[in-house]
Amino acid sequence: MTQPKITQDNVHLLLPSKVAQLANRLLQNGYAKSMADALTMVYTSPVYAKLEQEKTKYWWLGVNALYQEITMQ
C-alpha cells in the first residue's frame, strides 16, 4: 500500500491534533489562562501560518519543536 502524499489540499487534515497538543502544552506550562486563550495563541502565531503551508514542511515537526518555536517568539 502506498503512502498518501501530503499536499496543500490535504495538509489541513494533520493540523487539529498538532494544534490541540500544542495548545494543551501552552496551557499546562502557564503561557495561557484558558484553552480558548491557548488556541488563540496558536492560531494567531507565525508558527501556525507556517504549519498550514505544506511547502514549509512544518507539518512534519513534532509538538516539542513547535512548542519551542512558539514560546521563543
Task: Give this prediction's pTM.
Answer: 0.88
CA distance 40 to 11: 20
CA distance 33 to 24: 11
CA distances from 20 to 3, 24, 27, 48, 50 (A): 24, 6, 11, 12, 16
pLDDT tens, residue by residue, 4-61:
899 999 999 999 999 999 999 999 999 999 999 999 999 999 999 999 999 999 999 9
